[in-house]
Amino acid sequence: MSKLVGYEWKTEKGEKFSAYDGGLIPAKVSDWSQAEKSQLSGRTIVHIYWILKDGEILPFGKNSAMKELGIKAGTIKKMAEEYMSKARKQAEDYKWLLKSFGSMQKHSSVETANNAYINLNYSPLHTPRPRISYLENTACFCKDNEYLTRQNNAENNKALVELGFIKVLEN
Same domain, 11 and 83: yes
Dihedrals phi, psi of 50, to nearest 5 degrees: -85, 120
Whether 140 has a pLDDT exceeding 90, the answer reads: yes
Cβ atoms within 10 Å of 40's Cβ, excluding its own: 15
pLDDT tens by residue, 91-128: 787 777 777 776 678 889 999 998 888 887 777 676 67
pTM: 0.51
In this prediction, residue 126 carries a pLDDT of 67
Mean pLDDT for the stretch of residues 2-28: 90
As for how many domains the chain has, the answer is 2
Interval 67-87: pLDDT, tens: 999 988 778 888 888 888 887
Same domain, 73 and 37: yes
Boundaries of domain holding 111: 104-170
Mean pLDDT score of the chain = 86
